[in-house]
Amino acid sequence: MSTLFRRKPAEPQVIEEVTPAEGDLVSATRRATPSKKELGKVTPKRSDGRRKAEPPPANRREAYKRMREKQKLDRAEAMEGMRSGDERYLLARDKGPEKALVRDLIDSRRNVGTWFFGSAFLVLLGTSMQSPAIALYAQLLWFVIALAAAVDTVLICRKLGKLVRERFPKSEVKSRSLYFYAFMRSITFRRLRMPKPRVKLGESF
């Protein structure tokens, strides 16, 4: 009789455990889809979305107007680049590190040749006077300034040749072209020089 009322043994409960390997697989699966930040994508702003491309010109007159405006902006950019000494906008005569060295040398000193043409105007004015004494003094002044300008040019050429040999020993630019370039810049007033001076008077370069 005891066997009739005996309870059946309870079935063992099966507990599913996730092994570490399976946990890593689940987390890796969740991270399989990268975020926009990881992909380097940036959500566009509203202001960027509102920007629209410029519509095409309605007629030939408007197209010509736009072309003129673009050309004007390009010329202004080129002129500013030429003034600042940007190699992209310089003339062929002004390009190259040797020419930049010439400009720095001339712009860093006071040159007698700067007053060459100014004195020539005074001499011309003096010789046109009826007074022989004034004409004589004007001619003497012209002779003195011309002599001083010639001596100053020789000193500039010597110093320039030395600097070019020291800083650009493999330069293929002819010395005569550099000397002529230096002379032409030295007789030009500082405010009228192009490109504009980038060094001050007495400043080392």
Q: Please tell me the predicted confidence (pLDDT) of residue 19.
A: 47
Does one domain contain both 108 and 75?
A: no
Torsion-angle region of 40 (φ positive above 0: left; ψ -120 to 50: alpha; else: beta)? left
Query: Same domain for 122 and 154?
Result: yes
Query: Alpha helices, DSSP H only, in the chain?
Result: 20-30, 46-50, 60-84, 97-107, 116-127, 132-167, 175-186
Lowest mean pLDDT among 31-35, 52-56, 57-61, 151-155: 31-35
pLDDT of residue 49: 46
Span 101-124, mean pLDDT? Answer: 88
Q: Whole domain around residue 65: which residue ranges? A: 60-89
* pLDDT(10) > 60: no
For the chain, first and last CA: distance in Å?
119
- Measured from the Cβ of residue 155, the count of other Cβ atoms closer than 10 Å reads 12
pTM of the predicted structure, to 2 decimals:
0.64
Same structural domain, 80 and 133: no
C-alpha count within 13 angstroms, C-beta hemisphere, residue 50? 3
In this structure, is residue 158 part of a structural domain? yes
Residues 74 and 129 in one domain: no
Verify that 156 and 180 share a domain, yes or no.
Answer: yes
Question: Both 79 and 124 in a single domain?
Answer: no
| Confidence tier at 52 by pLDDT (50, 70, 90) | low
Give a yes or no: residue 105 inside a domain. yes
Q: What is the pLDDT of residues 114-130, one digit of tens each?
A: 888 778 787 777 777 77
Same domain, 142 and 162: yes
Q: With CA atoms as reference, report the closest residue to 186 among 121, 111, 83.
A: 111
- Is 16 among the domain residues? no
Considering only CA atoms, give the Rg of the chain.
Answer: 41
More confident residue, 6 or 119: 119
Q: Is residue 10 part of a domain?
A: no
Structural domain count of the chain: 2
Does one domain contain both 70 and 97? no
- Is 148 inside any structural domain? yes
Tokens 């720095």 label which residue?
104
How does pLDDT run across 132-171, given as a tens digit for each residue? Answer: 888 888 888 888 988 999 999 999 999 999 999 999 999 9
CA–CA separation, 13 and 7 (whole Å): 17
Residue 33 banded pLDDT, cuts 50, 70, 90: low
Per-residue pLDDT at 96 exceeds 50:
yes
Confidence of residue 60 (pLDDT cuts 50, 70, 90): confident
Is residue 81 a part of any domain in this protein? yes
Question: Is 69 in the same domain as 99?
Answer: no
